Structure 1
Amino acid sequence: MTETVDMSEDSERAVEIRNALTDKLRADGMITSEVVERAFRTVPRHLFVPAGTSLEVAYNADDSVATKTDEHGVIISSVSAPFIQARMIEQARLGPGMSVLEIGSGGYNAALLAEVVGPTGRVVSVDIDPEVTERARALLESTGYGDAVTVVLGDAEQGVPEAGPFDAIIVTVGAWDIPPAWLRQLGDSGTLVAPLLMNGISRSIAFRREADHLVSTSAEVCGFVAMQGEGEHAERVFLLPDAHGRAVKLRFDDGAPDDPSLLDGVLATERTEVWSGVTIKSGVSFADLHLWFAGFLPGFCKLAVDEGTDLADERGSWFPFGVVRGDSFAYLAVRRALEGAGVEFGARAYGMHGIQAATAMVEQIQAWDRQARGGPAPTFAFWPSGSDHTHLPPGTAVFPKTHGLATTSWPALG
């Protein structure tokens, strides 16, 4: 049985669950410093989520809590999952007396930041949505942080010119690019932490300046609601209808096919499959494989499916990553292996040239397994327009952006 949130006070039970959450984040390595641990034990997260949310949901380490949706039910504002909030604050290397700009408001994360930088520090939080900023101000005021955080209504693409520079900038929405205003507002030795999208795959990356560009100091797998305003980047989505009027959706961040009509009727073709011989034990992360696809698999896309499609009925045997080759597409699939203690990676495909599409995906699975799996973690960089990126190391994937280039380098390929 769950307990509903008491919005009037920080109850003894809420303190108990909050401490249990903090213990877990510390044990999992998401919290590594005493100042961040103290912040998580202090700020009442349950008072920043919608009324009626259970304490168990409010303090679940791995789940965000939606605070606003659009007319289609898509989440456009949320209180992020505690694990990624803790990790991003640690990535920013914040401490007492420092200044920080938060891009994307909600209230709770700003309160955590205020605890970390203390009374001699400075926290500014900016958001484009007036409902979000009004809610954040009210919640910060009611929880005692109204004077510790300055909430600004504005498009973060332009930064907050009157408030910089900052020792750290933490972006709490999915960022497709890094606009010049953020770099202007970042102190020379400051840290920018942003959930950067690279061909549809995101990482929370901590960047610091090195000569004319930014280099990563750490990265974490993450997912965030998308940026709004000038920094918004719309996906291209192609619908592949089946015989019953339901659809498979192919979602392209970049590199969408020039002639999507070639895929008309593709779901009516016979499905084919190719297997890689690459296995993995159950419960082991393979998130770097997704990132490898994003950088080295031309035609890479993400998949979503309607209920009632064949793919929906097969959930659990595939993952939402695919590739398009002309009139055919393939998607990442798994089948039982290692005597039931793991799976083998492969690709299933539709289309007249499905075997070629599946083979292209399988070849990249094998390349990742052979050249990068288990090796040093990839590193990231951002090269603003005008910087010199002519001498990138071998094994670097390049993601063109409006304001420069993002790159991912795999040390094992150097």
Structure 2
Amino acid sequence: MRTAMVEQMRGAGDLRTEGVTRAFSIVPRERFAPDAPLEQVYNRDDVVITKRDDNGLALSSVSAPRIQAQMLEQAEISPGMRVLEIGSGGYNAALIAELVGPEGEVTTVDIDPFVTDRAAQYLAETGYDRIQVLQVDAEGGVPQRAPFDRIIVTAGAWDVPPAWIEQLAEDGLLVVPLRLRGLTRSFALARKDGRLVSQNYDLCGFVSMQGAGANDERLILLQGEDIALRVDSDQLVTSPDSLRSALTSARVTRGSGIEVGGYEPFDDLDLFMATALDDFGLLVAKDAAIASGVVERSARMGAKTALADDSFAYRASQPTSDERTSFEFIVYGHGPHADQLVDQYIGLIREWDQSHRGGSGARVEVYPAGTDVRVPAGGRLVEKKHTSVLIFWPTSP
């Protein structure tokens, strides 16, 4: 089953280098998730939840193999490196140990003693007991083991604390699932002239950071708990009652004229919208609300939404062929200014289509908070506790 998973991941492009492929072929993933069925353990897309809170929400997990492979490929780990993993579980640390070899060093940390005890036990049982497992709040890093050639964060982070930058070697890489305006991407960040600069990024999802680095999104209920807006902490929603009223108003529906193929990724459109729109959130809805026709199916996973004081507009898609091999982006608006907001949204979809679709993507730069940052046209500066994050879109040739 491990061999079959590796072959599937190679075919899908998850595994691109010999070292990462070899690590996945060697490390027994089932030993780090002994309570899960093997079919789940060796499913390329499956997350194994190892701890939940009282409400059933995941607190710790063994990430999906394709996400782990994605981040390890981003990290470009070589033999002999010193690597810090923030967010433990054991399995990913074992993969890293295979990549750094006997001359390298791996430190894996977590704030939860349940997680670190479990990781230490499984690592020892599988022969990876030279990995250092520590229970700490990773906001302060691990200064006694620094500097690190690579820091890999396997929990969703809202910010980059100073310790992670200070403890990163001058030519090191930080790979972190960073949340920007409600969207999380795994960024590979390199040090350059006092800031971090993105080398690449990928779509991902992770359990949120706990401890001093925790920063939860806000949920604005629009129709009980069935329909809500999820907004990041940098977004101010001044009139939630007006947005609730907007939901019950007549709906504006307009096609964009922009189509995508059935398997074409368009997550960069989401990131572009989050950059371009002054007020941005995710419209989320339960199945009953979707079935009633109040909102579209895209709200099940979080429809990317333009916000105004009393109106909002979001995107969905509808098939343009009976075979469902192509889809047109449709924009829906609610509220007294829905017409203007829908037109703005469609204009941005067309701008993405003309200037950025299939291009090199966004560039992200992370500066210490308080830095005077020049923001290019069309870019956005997102202020956080420790950093100012610049995101902009170089025009593709």
Does the alignment reach a TM-score above 0.5?
yes
Q: TM-score range by the shorter chain?
A: over 0.9
- Match 1:346 to one of 305, 330, 334: 330
* 1:112 Cα deviation after fit: 0.7
Cα distance, 1:158 vs structure 2: 0.7
Note the C-alpha offset of 1:311: 6.0
Question: How far off its partner does 1:30 sit?
Answer: 2.3
For 1:187, the aligned partner's letter is A
Q: In the alignment, is the contact (CA less than 8 A) between 2:369 and 2:384 conserved in 1?
A: no
**Does the 8 Å contact 1:105/1:133 carry over to 2?**
yes
- Whether 1:66 aligns to 2:49 is yes
CA drift at 1:203: 1.2
Other-structure match for 1:267 = 247
Counterpart of 1:400 (choices 360, 378, 383) is 383
The one-letter amino acid of 1:149's match is I
**Aligned equivalents of 2:296, 2:82: Cα separation in 1:** 46
Indicate if the aligned counterparts of 1:395 and 1:413 stay in contact, CA closer than 8 A.
Answer: no
Alignment partners' CA distance in 2, 1:88 and 1:240: 36
User: What TM-score, normalized to structure 1?
Assistant: 0.89
Please, which of 139, 151, 156 is the counterpart of residue 169 of structure 1?
151
Change (3 A) 1:85 1:246: closer
Asked whether 1:289 is paired with 2:272, we answer no
> What's the TM-score once normalised by structure 2's chain length?
0.93
Q: Secondary structure at the match of 2:156?
A: coil
Unpaired stretches in structure 2, ≥5 consecutive residues: none
Query: Deviation at 1:260?
Result: 1.6
Segments of 5+ residues of structure 1 without an aligned counterpart are 1-16
Q: Name the counterpart of 1:196.
A: 178
300-309 or 232-241: which moved more? Answer: 300-309
- 2-structure distance, mates of 1:306, 1:84: 26
Distance change >3 Å, CA 85–CA 397, structure 1 → 2: same
Deviations 1:234-284 (A, max 9, x none): 21110011xxx5531100013131222222333322222122111111111
State the SS of the aligned residue for 2:109.
Answer: strand
C-alpha distance in 1 between matches for 2:24 and 2:368: 35
1:408, CA displacement in angstroms? 2.2
8 A Cα contact 2:369 2:383, kept in partner: no
| Displacement of 1:144 | 1.5
- In the alignment, the residues of structure 1 paired with residue 335 and residue 66 of structure 2 have an alpha-carbon distance, to the nearest angstrom, of 41
Report the CA distance between 1:359 and its aligned residue.
2.4
1:389 aligns with 2:373: yes
Partner of 1:220: 202
Q: Offset at 1:395?
A: 3.8
Q: Please give the residue correspondences for 1:33-52 in structure 2 after superposition, counting only pairs within 5 Å.
A: 33-51=17-35
* 2:290/2:296 contact within 8 Å kept: no
Whether 1:247 and 2:215 are equivalent positions in the alignment is no
Q: Residue 264 of structure 1: SS of its match in structure 2?
A: helix
Please give the secondary structure, in 2, of the residue aligned with 1:249: strand
Report % sequence identity. 43
CA deviation profile, 1:196-228 (whole Å, cap 9, x unmatched): 111011111111111111111221111111111
For residue 26 of structure 1, report the CA deviation from its aligned partner: 2.5
Q: Tell me what 1:137 maps to.
A: 120
Q: CA deviation at 1:333?
A: 1.5
Please give the alpha-carbon distance, in whole angstroms, between the structure 1 residues aligned to 2:225 and 2:184.
28
Displacement of 1:317 in angstroms is 5.7
Q: Select 1:116's aligned residue among 90, 99, 109.
A: 99
State how many pairs are aligned.
392
- The answer as to 2:364 corresponding to 1:376 is no
Alignment correspondent of 1:6: none
Cα displacement (A) at 1:354: 2.4
Distance 2:392 2:321 in 1: 31
Aligned: 1:54 with 2:37: yes
The one-letter code matched in structure 2 to 1:184 is E
Alignment of 1:172-191 (within 5 A): 172-191=154-173
What are the Cα deviations for residues 51-97 of structure 1, in whole angstroms up to 9, with x where unaligned? 1x222211111221111111111111111111121121121121211
RMSD of equivalent CA atoms:
2.0
